């Protein structure tokens, strides 16, 4: 994970100083140290545009310049929404400016007149941190993209599951974590005694609705306990005296973090009663 020496020496560096002697000195220092991608400018007004175009790994920024000082340049660099990290090392001969520069977002400072060994060490260490930060940022972006792709796959798979279950069953239902129905097709709520418009009478009147009260209570208890069940047999007697039979299957739904988010189930009508397992 740690950046290699070739990565560090190939980092993009910008020198910003209004004194040509300082620019030449830093260019020579970096060239002798093996850095291969060094740019410079004596115009602080160009810095933000240059950084947007080249995404420098490090900007060596003089604080005292005419027209636009280093603090103003840093404020301008912060508006670059594509870079949440301000890769600036300030160059200053004023001890009082060091703390202010760090508070403004600079990552380090190099004192003037330059101590060449100190300058070379600070630049190398700063680039090592910067490149490590960039690698972590790229890894996070890859992980976020992977999560988005997996989430899309899960949603697509869930949509296919719902379509298939609806096609393979006479009716289908879903409930949220509070037990409220979010999707219903067929006589689900009627079967569970939820709504009024049953075959006859009220939802709470099992004898009037025609549903077998013991079977209904067993089914409701399984759903309330978040238990899965398969091919549970439930029946009702219509107003014409004909007894109908249904096979019902259901399962609780959980997120990848095992949080309960609801219940879903399917039912099919069968022509004759069948022995089937009851909900556990």
Each residue's pLDDT tens digit, 214-241: 888 898 888 888 889 888 888 888 888 8
* Spatial CB neighbours of 61, under 8 Å, sequence gap ≥ 6: 16, 47, 70, 73, 74, 88, 89, 90, 91, 106
**Cβ 126 vs Cβ 120: under 8 Å:** no
pLDDT at 209: 66
Domains parsed from the chain with CATH numbers: 5-142 (3.40.50.2300), 169-270 (3.30.450.20)
Specify the pLDDT at position 280.
Answer: 55
pTM of the model: 0.54
Name the H helices within the chain.
5-9, 20-33, 47-54, 70-77, 95-103, 116-168, 188-192, 206-209, 213-224
> What are 110-163's pLDDT values in tens digits?
999 999 999 999 999 999 999 988 888 888 888 888 888 888 777 776 666 665
pLDDT at 265 over 50: yes
Q: Which residue has the higher pLDDT, 96 or 187?
A: 96
Nearest CA to 229 out of 277, 272, 164 is that of 277
């Amino acid at each position: 994970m740690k950046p290699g020496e070739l990565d560090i020496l190939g980092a993009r560096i910008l020198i910003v100083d209004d004194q040509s002697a300082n620019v030449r000195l830093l260019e020579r220092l970096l060239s002798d140290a093996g850095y291969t991608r060094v740019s410079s400018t004596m115009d602080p007004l160009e810095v933000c545009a240059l950084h947007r175009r080249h995404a420098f790994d490090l900007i060596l920024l003089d604080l005292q310049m005419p027209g636009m000082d280093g603090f103003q340049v840093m404020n301008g660099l912060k508006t670059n929404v594509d870079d949440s990290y301000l890769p600036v090392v300030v160059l200053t001969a004023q001890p009082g400016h060091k703390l202010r520069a760090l508070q403004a977002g600079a990552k380090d400072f190099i004192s003037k007149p330059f101590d060449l060994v100190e300058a070379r060490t600070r630049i190398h260490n700063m680039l090592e941190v910067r490149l490590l930060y960039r690698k972590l940022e790229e890894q996070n972006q890859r992980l976020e993209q992977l999560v988005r792709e997996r989430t899309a796959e899960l949603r697509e798979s869930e949509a296919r599951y719902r379509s298939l279950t609806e096609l393979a069953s006479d009716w289908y239902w879903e409930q949220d974590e509070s037990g409220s129905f979010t999707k219903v097709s067929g006589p689900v709520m009627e079967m569970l005694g939820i709504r009024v418009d049953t075959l006859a009478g009220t939802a709470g009147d099992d004898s009037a609705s025609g549903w077998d009260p013991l079977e209904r209570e067993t089914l409701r208890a399984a759903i309330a306990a978040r238990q899965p069940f398969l091919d549970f047999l439930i029946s009702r007697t219509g107003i014409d005296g004909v007894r109908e039979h249904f096979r019902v299957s259901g399962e609780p739904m959980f997120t990848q973090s095992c949080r309960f988010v609801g219940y879903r189930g399917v039912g099919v009508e069968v022509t004759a009663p069948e022995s089937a397992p009851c909900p556990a």
